[in-house]
Structure 1
Amino acid sequence: MKRYRGIKHSFRPKSYWNDGNVPQVLLRDVKGTERRKMIKHYYEQGMFQELDETFTKSSLTEDERNRFGAIHPSFMGGEYLTDCNPSETEIARVTLRSTTQDVISIRAKREDGELRYSIVDEYDDHEFSLWTEFSQKPFSLKELIEFLDNSS
């Protein structure tokens, strides 16, 4: 694993569900990459209240996805991910540099006192082989990178 100076690879969050700030709470369940960027921008500019609720909801309807995609195909990125289960949260995402900005979502959920991991993408036909399926505590940054590098 390549290491970059200034990055603390040993960092480990206390919990995947401990939202440390307002933007994390606002972005937690929003699937669309471009909508997430807009929410963050509007929040940082102090204009969050001006955003239409369509931008801030977790999932869009088919009609809303079509309207966003008509603006530009990049607005479809992330919008076709499956919803997280009630006890599940996204811990990381990979957004591909492509016209439609396809997204791969790394998720964790609590199960029998452990954390269970999964990877989902916007296409239901791919089943991922995971580096590990369970852990006792959240991944450190180093472990998350290993998980990404060794899952396929």
Structure 2
Amino acid sequence: MPQPKSVKIAGVEIKEVQDVSLSVSTPVGSRGDYEGRTTAPTLRLVRRARNTPTKAMFENATNKDGRQNYITGTVVLQNNKLEETFTIEIKSGFIAGWEFEQPPGDDHLSEIITIKIGEMDLKGGGGSKSFKMPEWLRA
């Protein structure tokens, strides 16, 4: 499985990203019908941290001084032939989670970055689709 071609979050190029997942969910009622608004998409990045976590991501996850810190970013994915397939452009989001761990039996560390996205574009196959939560960035 190929690694992402490039990942840039909050102006920082993140190397050694091994896994990218994007999930979007809409609440469903007990009868299986629509029940509420689509929630903010969640982007999860897993990188091989070797011996060094991405300090800038930790700083963004802690929001520096506790205030909300909105970020932008771009994730470019590729297939087995190393051809670009999809691009996720984050226009507004925040780091909702930052984990740093050493899996059992592994000499290297893993860093997991979870980003909640309020506005984004998903591009691929010659087209694109935008998503924006109407209530995003409202005080």
Which structure has more helix as a fraction of its residues? Answer: 1
| TM bucket, shorter chain | under 0.3
Greater share of strand: 2
Q: TM-score of the superposition, structure 2-length normalised?
A: 0.23
The two structures have a TM-score, normalised by structure 1, of 0.22
